[in-house]
Amino acid sequence: MINRTETDIMKKWKGTPDFPLLTIRCNTYNQEAYISQTIDGFLMQETDFPFRIVIHDDASTDKTGEIIKAYTQQYPNIIIPIVEKENQYSKYDGSILRITRPFLMGKYLAFCEGDDYWIDSYKLQKQVDFLEKNPEYVLCYTNFNILHQQNGKMEMNLITTRPDNFKQQYTLEQWLTYPGYTAPMTWVFRKEVFDAFEFIPSCDGTFVQFAHFLHTGKVHCMKEDTTAVYRVLMESASHSSNPHVYYKRIKDLRHVQKVLAKRYNMGLEVERRIDVVYFSRFYKLICLLGTKQERDELAAHCTAFPQKAVLLLSNSPLAKKAMFWVYNHKRG
């Protein structure tokens, strides 16, 4: 636990914790190994405005709840715990959003999962200052690092060191056609815009939310500031070493992309490009794990020789078994 009292945190605040300018929302489940580092990143924030921390413990079965309780006792005016008896995430019905929304107060919201963490004490102040000065922007995010938990490898400043993979700017059409990653644990956004967000069942809620922000207003990337670390685990809500789980996730995301394209009236050409990107990126998985209908759909979209060759080879049980071994070996 961070060596900082509530008085230390609030001494520069222009206001009281009863009326926060910003709420930090943290969802956690069975993250006892990481949650303290996450909460410490919140509590180290140096701001001239009051903020609150809403931590949603989604029925953890480890010691995550005990750790949150200890922090709440130490910071009762800042931390608000929400403890579930039944896991809500697994329902995929928006229940987490409905449960936490009444506790989200203020003009701005920030978001960080219970296994990621912040490393810049002035993160919130910088982002709020930007949004206060630029009312046309609805969200800003920052540069970030990636920690590969399995081997301890840290990749630094991804937005500037790997700009082809992690872009600074998206249009709504680009985001829906070729989904990227914008480090949700770095987001600060306007609550009034988030309040207008309509839930869609999805394996990736932040993808849907970012589309909403792009549709609503301007989004800014603070590439000069690296404020947080994204922790990559072997198994989590967004990552899995199981190819069947991964395949289910990418199929779900494709469906959501098309739902959003219709919601925002993007036109049939955008829906077509969603398919083109999907089949060109994931044809190997479709060959290995797809149903006959999915493989037939792939065949209709095959244009390049590698796609056609892999599809043809996968018709042989022996070749398919070898391909599956190669796929798993590369992922491992």
* pLDDT tens series, the chain, 332 aa: 899 999 999 999 998 889 999 999 999 999 999 999 999 999 999 999 999 999 999 999 999 999 999 999 999 999 999 999 999 988 878 889 899 999 999 999 999 999 999 999 999 999 999 999 999 999 999 999 999 998 999 999 999 999 989 999 999 999 999 999 999 999 999 999 999 998 888 888 999 999 999 999 999 999 999 999 999 986 655 556 688 888 999 999 999 999 999 999 999 999 999 999 999 999 888 888 888 899 888 888 877 767 777 777 677 776 666 666 666 655 54
Look up residue 122 and give its two tokens. 């002035």
Q: How many Cβ atoms sit within 10 Å of the Cβ of residue 103?
A: 15
DSSP 90-123: GG-SSHHHHHHGGG--SSEEEE--TT-EE--TTH
Alpha carbons 54 and 103: distance in angstroms, whole number: 7
The identity of residue 60, as a single letter, is: S
Say what the pTM is: 0.89
- Alpha-helical segments (H) within 106-242: 123-133, 158-161, 172-177, 191-195, 205-216
Instruction: Specify the pairing of strand 108-111 against strand 22-28.
Output: parallel
Quick check: helix, strand or coil at residue 224? strand
Q: How many Cβ atoms sit within 10 Å of the Cβ of residue 170?
A: 19
